[in-house]
Amino acid sequence: MPWVQVGEVELCYEREGDRHDPVVLLVNGLGGQLVDWDEGFRRALVEQGFSVLRFDNRDAGLSSAVEDGPAFDLAAGLAQDRSAAAYTLDDMADDAAGLLEALGIEAAHVVGVSMGGMIAQMVAARYPGRVRSLCSIMSTTGAPDAGTPSPEAMAVLLRPPARGREEYVAAELEAARVIGSPGFPFDEERIRRRAEAAYDRSFRPAGVGRQLMAIMVSGDRTAALRTITAPTVVVHGAADPLVPPSGGQATAAAIAGAELRIVEGMGHDLPPQLWPDLVAVIAANAARPHCTAPLLDAPSPVVRGGGQ
């Protein structure tokens, strides 16, 4: 997989589909890696006529680790003390916009899940000319009264890091049972395979903590969301315990013209049964008239070939 230098970080990415097709940029959630985007979902997007671009956020996968960043501090995070965080969601949005610039992609349809939805929102707010459309999935605005996790889901979020591969896989299966989609079959084998692949590729619990701090200290982004002009669709699970539907409702309410899709039986994941409908929603939103805001400058990265 190739890497690209974006400001102070190096991002690992992969692109598939016809390079002449419109680009869909997939932005993953907390601790997520580019390998977490299922092949079937990506293939459906390619068959819909998109070129799919996915990447590892900073501090995840094979992208740069922020080794000298402060450790996770729950009290500082709750106090939104930015000095206690290595970076913010704005910085992660700058990474995503810089990746597009480095690859010579003028604008993309940006799709983000969970924390990735927060990052996608800020890309649309900070770089309107780079976002043709926005799809925010199972995400929220950062407002204190929106998308508050259930106690059980919060326990999953704040669980201690796993000590080894077997414990990590078991923890991922347990988490999927707590925050997954109760309206769809629980596919233990699929979740196990994905967890094993993720662990074998990269295991960075400290990075997860720093990403969580970025979410907490970034606070309420509602004012920024009100500036978004890209066609927007917000998709949220009616049964999501980690980011309840109020998070999606607040997101749609903050963005002018946003369409809200509440999906019955969906929790905080993307069951394969939902992929055809989700791809159709992304394609329909992408076909809406896009913004004509001037292109804003992103960081000035330099593409590097190969890998590490």
Average the pLDDT over each of 66-75, 117-126, 192-201 and give the range with the smallest value.
Answer: 66-75
pLDDT (tens digit, 9 = 90+) per residue, 25-68?
999 999 999 999 999 999 999 999 999 999 999 999 999 998 87
Indicate the pTM of the whole model: 0.92
| Token pair in block for residue 38 | 């299922």
pLDDT (tens digit, 9 = 90+) per residue, 205-238?
999 999 999 999 999 999 999 999 999 999 999 9
Radius of gyration over every alpha carbon of the chain, rounded to an integer in angstroms: 18
Element (H, E) at 125: helix 115-126
Beta bridge partners of 53: 15, 25
* Residues 231-252, mean pLDDT to the nearest whole number: 98
Residue 37: what residue type? W
Tell me what pLDDT residue 78 has. 79
The answer to whether the CB of 52 falls within 8 A of the CB of 46 is yes
Q: Domains (ranges, CATH) in the chain? A: 3-293 (3.40.50.1820)
